[in-house]
Amino acid sequence: SQRVFWYHDHLLVKEPGTAESTPWHHDQPYYPVDGEQLVSFWIPMDPVSKDTCVEYIRGSHRWGRWFSPKYFRKDKDFVVQDPRFETIPDFDAQRDQHEFLSWELQPGDMIAFHALAVHGAPGNRSSSRRRRAWAMRWLGDDARYASRVGAISPPLEGHGLTPGDAFGVAMFPEISLKSS
What residues have CB less than 8 Å from 127, skipping those under 6 apart? Answer: 16, 17
Taking only the tens place, the pLDDT of each residue in 60-116 is 999 999 998 877 765 555 656 677 889 899 999 999 999 999 999 999 999 999 999
Residue 154 burial class via C-beta count within 10 angstroms: exposed 0-12, middle 13-18, buried 19 and up: exposed
Kindly report the backbone phi and psi dihedral angles of residue 39, in degrees, each rounded to the nearest multiple of 5, phi listed first: -115, 145
Secondary structure in 3-state letters for 147-178: CCCCCCCCCCCCCCCCCCCECCCCCCCEECCC
Taking only the tens place, the pLDDT of each residue in 157-166 is 888 899 999 9
The verdict on residue 68 lying in a domain is: yes
* Domains of the chain: total: 1
The verdict on residue 139 lying in a domain is: yes
Average of per-residue pLDDT values in the chain: 90
Average pLDDT over residues 142-169: 86
The verdict on residue 120 lying in a domain is: yes
Determine the Cα–Cα distance for residues 43 and 55; give it in Å rounded to an integer.
14
The verdict on residue 180 lying in a domain is: no
Sheet with 4-14: strands ordered across = 111-114, 38-44, 131-139, 4-14, 174-175
Q: What is the domain extent for residue 49?
A: 4-151+159-174
pLDDT at 152 over 80: no
Query: Residue 131 maps to which CATH number?
Result: 2.60.120.620
DSSP-derived secondary structure for 41-67: EEEESS-B-GGGS-EEETTGGGS--EE
pLDDT above 70 covers a percentage of the chain that reads 93
The verdict on residue 179 lying in a domain is: no
Supply the pTM of this predicted model. Answer: 0.90
The verdict on residue 147 lying in a domain is: yes
